[in-house]
Amino acid sequence: MTKALKIVVLAKQVPDTRNVGKDAMTPEGTVNRAALPAIFNPEDLNALEQALRLKEQHPGSTVGVLTMGPPRAGEIIRQGLFRGADTGWLLTDRLFAGADTLATSYALATAIKKIGDVDIVIGGRQAIDGDTAQVGPQVAQKLGLNQVTYAEEILKIENNIATIRRHIDGGVETVEVPLPCVITVNGSAAPCRPCNAKLVMKYKYASCPLERQPEDPRADLYASRDYLNLNQWSVADVDGDPNQCGLSGSPTKVKTVQNIVFQAKESKTLTASDADVEGLIKELLEEKIIG
Amino acid sequence: MNNVFVYIETECTQVAEVSQELLTKGRKLADQLGVELHAVVAGTGIKGKVEDQILPYGVDKLFAFDGEGLFPYTSAPHTDILVNLFKEEQPQICLMGATVIGRDLGPRVSSSLTSGLTADCTQLEIGDFDDVKTKKHYDNLLYQIRPAFGGNIVATIVNPDHRPQMATVRSGVMQKAIYEGKAKNEVVYPEVSKYVSPEAYVVKVLDHHVEAAKHNLKGSPIVVAGGYGMGSKEGFDMLFELAKVLHGEVGASRAAVDAGFCDTDRQIGQTGVTVHPKVYIACGISGQIQHIAGMQDSKIIISVNSDPDAPINKIADYVIVGTVEEVVPKLIKYYKQNSK
């Protein structure tokens, strides 16, 4: 027996921390996102793939991408639509800025309540800009839902129970969890499918109101094709409490941020010549550094 | 009230090493603050089997929850235990391992208690904090120090107004030591049903399979590590050969793991294992900060790199400028010739 599922994918636009420059941090110690290339958080793509597979297995299911960020994070929703998602929501508001994981999870949980009747909330295990892995479980707690973290594959969903294989330290585990639930997906899960050319054609001009120019040349297009209008929500739109959002909703404060300086040593530089390598080995053996 | 708590992780009745490492750190913090060190453990059939693995690390009081359904770990029952216990005990600090379990449990507990949590701390210290905005002064906060942003900076995080101050720490970052001082070593076995609601047991573990670690990278006195410069999975074969003749273990940088040259469980660095070997031989590793964070305490560092300006060379004792293809076979050859 299969039933149609309403799935929300949590996805984050992240600075590509693999290529970080010096001006990456603001003096307040938060990330200067504008200075860095922005990408779809890699493990969120793994989560999107699991969601799209469920959609294929359970006819009538819908997949929506929920993201929080500045207006340009609308790109994350488009990337989701290009791969087969049906809809998306951008949470954007200055009041959300500076959020730690707790304030972020509050905002996301509030939006998920607003979306309503969600069967599965699924996201990446962690984002590469913070590597904390906290937002998934915190969203689950705030919604009062069960959670399965470090998921590698959703094996099946039957009778409203999901069977999930997950990674654990030194092994694997298979668990059963009743829906609705929150799932976070590990990077070892199946990679996400590429963008579909037809969907790219269909959605390439899809955007949120704040992404558009005042006199947008495509205004007629947006008026005639409603699917190009992406949902954009502020704190007020999701009936959020401003005190629990952004910096004011964040119990953790950044005290200081420092560049890392390692103690340089006086190195002995050798060449790859036989004499140098043999000399080093002999020295290490004589000093009993190696046995 | 106001004590330091450590959450103890177990596999059956075996206490995780990271929990013992945190007890040693927790004991130091408690001594500095003049409070007690408490530990909490939850499992099935643990009574009489885990106490000796926990108390010697300086624990004043152990809360041991023994009941059906507490092993294998699932999120809700362990969350209920910590949340309800912390409501009674009001700890000021709670530490847990940055393991799969700690990273599942920590955020759930912190969200329930609206307290802050900092993941993957590499240092924990006690210090003061002045909030610039509110002009308030705070004494004796937990400095939660962690690399951030792909390891490019290090941030000190504080939780001024919310308790407990929660932090997770990866295995191997702290070092365990039996406590030499006197601790109270009291043990209590609370009634599980008073803390965990029956609905909490709804997630079922059908199959739980853990293999004994395939290697002892963390404890190995000699580590041969390869980076992206090894070029391929086959390139790593010669590192395994070098490690074998030296009786060491093979590690890898994140770049090498991401490229598929080596298994994830051998990754050294801020998001992998932290090692403290006698000798660390870095082959084709440029030395990203996040890697150096996991090996900088090695006694002797040897870098083999064709780039004389590779960042890792700055912290190396010996730098061999040359390709790994040329140098590694020579290291093997001359070790074999000269040892015994």
Q: How far apart are CA B182 and CA B57, in angstroms?
A: 10
Domain boundaries, chain A: 6-249
Chain A residues touching residue B338 (CB < 8 angstroms): 278, 281-282, 285
Q: Please report where in the chains the tokens 């599965």 appear, as a residue.
A: A120
How does residue A22 score in pLDDT terms, banded at 50, 70 and 90?
low
Is B151 part of the contact surface with chain A (CB cutoff 8 Å)? Answer: yes
Return the pLDDT at B272. Answer: 84
Return the pLDDT at B1. Answer: 86
Domains belonging to chain B, first-starting first, are: 4-120+161-202 (3.40.50.620), 222-338 (3.40.50.1220)
Q: How far apart are CA B121 and CA B55, in angstroms?
A: 24
Is B207 part of the contact surface with chain A (CB cutoff 8 Å)? Answer: yes
Q: How far apart are CA B135 and CA B274, in angstroms?
A: 38
Q: How far apart are CA A176 and CA B161, in angstroms?
A: 38
Return the pLDDT at B262. Answer: 93
Residue A20 has pLDDT above 70, yes or no: no
Is B159 part of the contact surface with chain A (CB cutoff 8 Å)? Answer: yes
Is B131 part of the contact surface with chain A (CB cutoff 8 Å)? Answer: yes
Report which DSSP code applies to A58: S
Return the pLDDT at A107. Answer: 97
pLDDT tens digits along B181-216 = 999 999 999 999 999 999 999 999 999 999 877 888
Q: Which of B129, B205, B319 sits opposite A267 (nearest CB)?
A: B319
Query: What is the distance between the terminal CA atoms of chain B, rounded to a whole angstrom?
Result: 60
Chain B residues touching residue A254 (CB < 8 angstroms): 155-157
CATH superfamily of A6-249: HUPs (3.40.50.620)
Q: How far apart are CA B91 and CA B4, in angstroms?
A: 6
Integer CA distances (angstroms), A52 to A158, A192, B88, in order = 17, 9, 44
Q: How many CB atoms lie within 10 A of CB A277?
A: 24
CA of A8 to nearest chain B CA: how many angstroms apart? 20
How does residue A1 score in pLDDT terms, banded at 50, 70 and 90?
low
Residue A19 has pLDDT above 70, yes or no: no
CA of B177 to nearest chain A CA: how many angstroms apart? 23
Q: What is the Cα A74 distance to its own chain's centre?
A: 14
Chain B residues touching residue A170 (CB < 8 angstroms): 210-213
Question: Per-residue pLDDT averaged across A89-116, rounded?
Answer: 95
- Spell out the residues 6+ positions from residue B208 whose beta carbon is closer than 8 angstroms to its own: A168, A171, A173, B72
Is the bond leading into B72 cis (omega within 30 degrees of zero)? yes
pLDDT tens digits along A258-276 = 876 666 778 899 999 999 9
Rg (C-alpha) for chain A, rounded Å, is 23
CA of A280 to nearest chain B CA: how many angstroms apart? 9
CA of A268 to nearest chain B CA: how many angstroms apart? 5
Tell me whether residues A137 and B143 touch, CB distance under 8 A: no
Bridge partners (DSSP) of residue A178 are A161
Q: Is the separation of the CB atoms in B280 and B225 below 8 Å? A: yes
pTM value is 0.89
Q: How far apart are CA A188 and CA A168, in angstroms?
A: 12
Return the pLDDT at B289. Answer: 80
Angle between the A74-83 and A42-57 helix axes, to the nearest 10 degrees? 40
From A138, A133, A69, select the one nearest A97 (Cα to Cα).
A69
Tens-level pLDDT at each residue, chain B (340 residues): 899 999 999 999 999 999 999 999 999 999 999 999 999 999 999 999 999 999 999 999 999 999 999 999 999 999 999 999 999 999 999 999 999 999 999 999 999 999 999 999 989 999 999 998 889 999 999 999 988 776 677 889 999 999 999 999 998 899 999 999 999 999 999 999 999 999 999 999 999 999 877 888 988 999 999 999 999 999 999 999 999 999 999 999 999 998 999 998 899 988 788 999 999 999 999 988 889 889 988 999 999 999 999 999 999 999 999 999 999 999 999 999 998 7
Residue A60's Cβ-count burial label (10 Å; 0-12, 13-18, 19+) is exposed
Note the ipTM here.
0.88
Chain A residues touching residue B318 (CB < 8 angstroms): 267-270, 280
Which amino acid is located at A173 in the chain?
E
Q: How far apart are CA A99 and CA A96, in angstroms?
A: 6
From A170, A262, A18, select the one nearest B298 (Cα to Cα).
A262
Q: How far apart are CA A81 and CA B295, in angstroms?
A: 43
Supply the mean pLDDT for chain A.
Answer: 91
Q: What angle do CA B171, B176, B182 make, to 5 degrees?
A: 145
Which amino acid is located at B205 in the chain?
V
From B311, B21, B265, B17, select the one nearest B167 (Cα to Cα).
B21
Phi, psi of B76 (to 5 degrees): -65, -50
From A49, A67, A40, select the one nearest A183 (Cα to Cα).
A49
Is B278 part of the contact surface with chain A (CB cutoff 8 Å)? Answer: yes
Return the pLDDT at B150. Answer: 66
Q: How many CB atoms lie within 10 A of CB B154?
A: 21
Tell me whether residues B308 and A260 touch, CB distance under 8 A: no
Q: Is the separation of the CB atoms in A115 and A8 below 8 Å? A: yes
Is the bond leading into B164 cis (omega within 30 degrees of zero)? yes
**What tokens does B34 get?**
């003049």
Q: How far apart are CA B23 and CA B17, in angstroms?
A: 10
Output the 3-class SS for chain B.
Answer: CCCEEEEECEECCEECHHHHHHHHHHHHHHHHHCCCEEEEEEECCCCCCCHHHHHHHCCCEEEEEECCCCCCCCHHHHHHHHHHHHHHHCCCEEEEECCHHHHHHHHHHHHHCCCCEEEEECEEEEEEEECCCCCCEEEEEEEEEEEECCCCEEEEEECCCCCCEEEEECCCCCCCCCCCCCCCCEEECCCHHHCCCHHHHHCEEEEEEECCCCCCCCCCCEEEEECHHHCCHHHHHHHHHHHHHHCCEEEECHHHHHCCCCCHHHEECCCCECCCCCEEEEECCCCCHHHHCCCCCCCEEEEEECCCCCHHHHHCCEEEECCHHHHHHHHHHHHHHHCC
Bridge partners (DSSP) of residue A162 are A157, A177
pLDDT tens digits along A150-193 = 999 999 999 999 999 999 988 999 999 999 999 999 998 999 99
Tell me whether residues B204 and A175 touch, CB distance under 8 A: yes
Which amino acid is located at A241 in the chain?
D
**What tokens does B55 get?**
């108390």
CA of A46 to nearest chain B CA: how many angstroms apart? 15
Residue A29 has pLDDT above 90, yes or no: no
